[in-house]
Amino acid sequence: MTAEARQLADTQRLPDATGAAVRVLGLTAWYGPVAGVRDVSLDFAANRITAIIGPSGCGKSTLLRCLNRMHEVVKHARVDGQVLLDGRDIYAADVDAAVVRERVGMVFQRPNPFPTMSIWDNVGVGPRLAGAHSSELSDISEWALKKAGLWNEVSDKLRTPAIALSGGQQQRLCIARCIAVRPEVILMDEPCSALDPVATIRIEDLMRELAREYTVIIVTHNMHQAARVSDFTAFLLAEDGQGGQLVEYADTDTIFTGPGDQRTESYVTGRFG
C-alpha cells in the first residue's frame, strides 16, 4: 500500500464497540431494476469464520461482493444501505474503493493465478502495485507462501509458471496473493467447489489458521463444510422474486442443531435447495 493510501486507510479506521469487523445495515444490492439481496442487516465477528449459505440464486455471492465493493464493477449495479468496516461506511463518497479492496481481500470460486506469471510474481504483484519496495518483496512473498501452507511445496520452483501447480495448490497460491497485501478481512466465494476432497481439507485447515489473524467470510453450498469450519452461519433465501433476504443468523451449532426458523431447518436437513 502506498503511503498516501495507508494514510487514507488510517483516517477511515474507526473503532466499533460491537466487536464486529464488518457490519451490514439495511443492504439492498441491485442489478438494474432487480434486487440480488434485499434489506440485509448482520454483523460479521472479528477473527471468526462466518459461512453464508442458501440455495442457488439467493444472493450469497452478491452479498459477499458487496463487502469489498466488487458488486459495483458490474454494469448497472448499485447498492443501498451501509457496509461498515471498523465503523466506517465503505460506500461513503470520500472512501477509495481501492483502499477497501486492500483491506477486504477476496478469493474466488475457481483458482485464478495470473497465467503468464511465476509463482513468485503472483504473490508479489499486489504488494508491488501497492508501493512495496523491491527490497521488501522477497520477505513479503515468503511470508505469504508460508502463511498459506505452500512454501515447503514450492520453495524450489518459485520461478515456474503458477498454472503448473495442482488445483489445490493454485487456490492456496491465490490465498497467499490475497494476504500478501495484509488485509483485515478475507472473503471466500465457494473456495473449495472445484477441488478434490484432499485439497478441500487443506483449504479448510487453512481457513481455521487464518481466522486467528483475519476475519473470514465464506460462501458455500456444502452444508458439511459450513458445519465443520464456521463459527457463525447466515442463511439467505429468495422468495417471490424479491431478492435474497436474511432468514436466520446465529452461531453455527444453533443453525444446524436448533434453528429458530422452519425454513432454515428444512434447508440444512436437505428438504429443499
Tens of pLDDT along 191-231?
A: 999 899 999 999 999 999 999 999 999 999 999 999 999 99
Give the domain CATH number at 194: 3.40.50.300
Q: Judge whether 62 lies within some domain.
A: yes
Separation between Cα atoms, residue 13 and residue 36, nearest integer Å: 29
Please choose, from the candidates 219, 159, 165, 160, the residue with its C-alpha nearest in 3D space to the C-alpha of residue 193: 219
Residue 2 pLDDT level (bands cut at 50, 70, 90): very low
pLDDT computed for residue 11 by the predictor: 36
Separation between Cα atoms, residue 257 and residue 269, nearest integer Å: 10
pLDDT computed for residue 19 by the predictor: 67
The overall pTM is greater than 0.85: yes
Q: Judge whether 263 lies within some domain.
A: yes
**Percent with pLDDT over 90 in the chain:** 84
Separation between Cα atoms, residue 67 and residue 84, nearest integer Å: 9
Q: What is the mean pLDDT of the chain?
A: 90
Contacts of 88 (CB under 8 A, 6+ apart): 12, 13, 14, 95
Q: Judge whether 227 lies within some domain.
A: yes
Q: Judge whether 273 lies within some domain.
A: no
| Whether 115 contacts 162, CB under 8 Å | yes
Q: Judge whether 204 lies within some domain.
A: yes
User: How many structural domains are present in the chain?
Assistant: 1
Q: Judge whether 172 lies within some domain.
A: yes
Residue 271 pLDDT level (bands cut at 50, 70, 90): confident
User: Does the pLDDT value for residue 251 go beyond 70?
Assistant: yes
User: Does the pLDDT value for residue 127 go beyond 70?
Assistant: yes
Please give the residue range of the domain that contains residue 16.
3-268
User: Does the pLDDT value for residue 10 go beyond 70?
Assistant: no
Q: Judge whether 104 lies within some domain.
A: yes
Residue 107 pLDDT level (bands cut at 50, 70, 90): very high
